[in-house]
Amino acid sequence: MAALSCHSHPMSYTSSLQNVKKIVAPSISCSMQPGGQSNIKVIVNGAAKEIGRAAVVAVTKARGMEVAGAVDSYLVGEDIGKVCDMEEALEIPIMNDLTMVLGSISQSKGMAVVVDFTDPTTVYDNVKQATAFGMNSVVYVPRIKQDTVMALSSFCEKASMGCLVAPTLSIGSILLQQAAISASFHYNNVEIVESRANAADFPTQDAIQIANNISNIGQLYNRQDISTEVQARGQVLGEDGVRVHSLVVPGLPSSTTVYFSRPGEVYTIKHDITDVQSLMPGLILAIRRVVRFKNLVFGLEKLL
């Protein structure tokens, strides 16, 4: 849709009698300008999950994007707006057929992004389907296998389509990881302590990512007990002596704490997640940026 754009241009003339410059009424010129860029259409795959519902609300509130589809095997047929306890229905039913949703949305012009909150076994096929319909993807699937990421990277490069695979969508978690990398060059000992309210696969992706980030930099941590096999000392990640202790304590927030120490000093970095809402700023950033990608990018930190 075109928009009418008008500009005023003050006109002046110089009097030949008094050599005085006078201002007269401005002239007005108008032209038709192309309309503003359409919203990014967002399809949430895994919409009935807690994080999926939070994503629907966040996308609805964000400028320049809109929820265009909701996919899940639960609550099929229910309006996603009502499922998310929004004041008004979005008139978007939850459907369990991703291909049907993608095909319907692809008929309309404009950019579209599929946000995938499913599971490691379906991610590859989901991204392939999105790509087939000309849509980029944001993938937040804990425990996605490295082989899957490599296969997706090769596929996206050949198709010249974008995909962001994010081990975490928490900006705070990324800042903690960056701080840990900086500290790792200066301390001889490091321990990671994480807590979650419910039992899950441990160590978590956050702990694994931190251990990977501070490994292979020429530092060997916890030299005094690196070879101990006492289980209470925590699991060693990698070959550099990084230990992680995982706690399941109902009532506590999801928390990751990294302790660094050297003689006479202890440096502690901590990050708590009290609500899934903390992931939404990272998600909105990912949606805005992935539409310009032509390959796979691993890690939200690449966008910060």
Is residue 183 located within the same domain as residue 107? Answer: no
**Residue 141 within a domain:** yes
Any idea which residue has 């990398």 for tokens? 181
Report the DSSP pairing between strands 235-237 and 242-248: antiparallel
Q: Are 114 and 176 contained in the same domain?
A: no
- pLDDT value at position 18? 43
Decide: 40 and 114 in contact? Cβ < 8 Å. Answer: no
Low-confidence ranges of the chain (pLDDT < 50): 1-35
Same-domain pairing of 149 and 179: no
Q: What does each C-alpha distance from 294 to 117, 152, 158, 291 come to in angstroms?
A: 21, 12, 9, 8
What are the strands of the beta sheet with 40-45, ordered from one edge?
94-95, 65-71, 40-45, 112-116, 136-139, 163-165, 296-298
Note whether residue 35 is domain-resident. Answer: no
* Judgement on whether residues 81 and 186 belong to the same structural domain of the protein: no
Residue 38 has a pLDDT of 86
Indicate the residue type of 254: S
Please count the structural domains in the chain. 2
Q: Do 55 and 111 lie in a common domain?
A: yes
Cα 286 versus chain centre, distance:
4
Residue 14 lies in a domain: no
Q: What is the CATH number of the domain that holds 262?
A: 3.30.360.10
pLDDT for the residue 220: 84
Other Cβ atoms closer than 10 A to 64: 13
Domain housing 131? 40-169+278-298
Distance between CA atoms of residues 270 and 278, nearest Å: 15
What are the C-alpha distances in Å from 300 to residues 171, 182, 219, 295?
Answer: 8, 18, 26, 14
What pLDDT shows up at residue 37?
65
Assess if residue 200 is contained within a domain: yes
163 & 48 share domain:
yes
